[in-house]
Amino acid sequence: MSLTFFTPGPAELYPTVANHIQSALAEQIGSISHRSAQFRRIYQHTDEQLRALLNVPSTHAILFTGSATEIWERMLQNCVEFESFHCVNGSFSRKFYDTAVDLKKFAHLVEKPLGQGFDYEEFSKVTEGSPKKAEETGDKIRIPEYAELVCLTANETSTGVQMRGVDINKLKRSHRSKLFCVDMVSSAPYHSLDFEEVDSAFFSVQKSFGLPAGLGVWIVNEKCLARAEQLKKQETVIGSYHSLPSLWKNYKNFETPETPNVWNIYLLGKVAEDMNRLGVDHIRKDTDAKARKIYDFLEKADGFEPFVKNTEHRSPTVAVANTKEPAKEIIERVKAQGMLIGSGYGKAKDNQLRIANFPAVSMEQVERLLDALK
């Protein structure tokens, strides 16, 4: 029996992917040269469709890497000489921080208990150059004066906690002199980021874009490039073939330094085009409507409750539920009806479920899942 995947990545394939795979085979995408005009047209098309979908201005490049995990490392290597700042509230935001530590950056973190999130209002508005002293900021979170890069996670996939797009945009506006990078791996294109402000964001394709794994997408602006070039001049190690200057130089010609995942770049462009045809607003509203159904169920149904208490922090794309019954038994029962849901992350494996609400699953499929969970 084929399953419907409500797992938070790899996830259900976007409904049009099977057709696009057929076209990719017909067009012999698996064999074409990555130095051909055909490939450059594919890259350009994917770039144009993602730009339209996510409202990315011409100040930003759209670059391809092996994964989102790689982008944690590239971002820190290329844009931080000494200090980074991380908002941590689960395993993925923690790994971003851990990467900075591994790279010997002086990494600051503010950490929330699992299930909690960050709001703009919690941050001190004091920025460098302001005469106010730290103690005047009360108990607000203060982004350290010497932090060069602020690292945020729009959707913490391990706990189902979001930081709302409006809060991310406001936080950047109040800290304009710092570079901001947003992990939107399990929510893009849901979160609406203001790329006039946000310097960088990234995702990988096997989550909310509903594609097979193996491609990271790095949206990054000229300020980040300038920073990387400055670090390079100072002889800081910024990497080799996937350094930001190397990726950017190739991008100008719609090429990549290495032989890339041409197949997935092609599929991503096609799926982004399909999403644009529906309209990103439609996708966001549809996601909200399905999320309301899921959370409503979790609040009312016997034996379940939403893990995240603050409704504004509840992720629209990955819902996490506490369960009375052992999670494994629920997963098995639902699987027998043709649907796969995720277990809790790490230690929460036994008494939590994670339900992905990505654009690939329809309202009807969500309703079927909730019926099976009853």
Q: Are the beta carbons of 171 and 123 closer than 8 angstroms?
A: yes
Asked if 183 and 68 count as a contact pair (C-beta separation under 8 A), the reply is yes
Q: How far is the CB of 30 from ligand PLP (least distance, A)?
A: 21
The single-letter code of the amino acid at 41 is: R
Cis upstream peptide for 189 (omega within 30°): yes
Q: Which is nearer to ligand PLP, 153 or 243 (CB)?
A: 153
Going by their DSSP bridges, the two strands 339-343 and 352-356 should be labelled as: antiparallel
CB of residue 136 to ligand PLP, shortest distance in Å: 34
Cβ at position 169, least distance to ligand PLP in Å: 19
Closest CB to ligand PLP among residues 68, 228 = 68
Write down the least CB distance from residue 145 to ligand PLP, Å: 27
Instruction: Give the SS3 label for residue 111.
Output: strand
144 vs 212, beta carbon nearer ligand PLP: 212
**CA 168 to each of CA 78, 162, 163, 315: distance values in angstroms, whole numbers, following the listed order:** 22, 10, 7, 14
What are the strands, taking DSSP E only, across the chain?
4-6, 60-65, 83-88, 106-111, 149-153, 155-156, 161-162, 179-183, 200-204, 216-221, 304-306, 318-323, 339-343, 352-356
- The rounded distance, in Å, linking the Cα atoms of 161 and 166 is 15
State the residue for tokens 């395993």: 91
Contacting residues toward ligand PLP, per CB under 6 A: 9, 67-69, 92, 153, 155, 157, 183, 185-186, 204, 207
Would you say 185 or 373 has its CB closer to ligand PLP?
Answer: 185
Rounded to the nearest whole angstrom, what is the least distance from the CB of residue 121 to ligand PLP in the complex? 23
Nearest to 191, CA basis, from 168, 225, 158, 173:
168
Strand partners, 212: none
In the complex, the smallest distance separating the C-beta of residue 163 from ligand PLP, rounded to whole angstroms, is 11
Write down the least CB distance from residue 235 to ligand PLP, Å: 29
Q: Whose Cβ is closer to ligand PLP: residue 6's or residue 297's?
A: 6
CB nearer to ligand PLP: give 185 or 348.
Answer: 185
Give a three-class secondary structure readout of 213-236: CCCEEEEEEHHHHHHHHHHHHCCC
Nearer to ligand PLP, 164 or 207 (CB): 207
Instruction: Find the shortest distance in angstroms from Cβ 213 to ligand PLP.
Output: 6
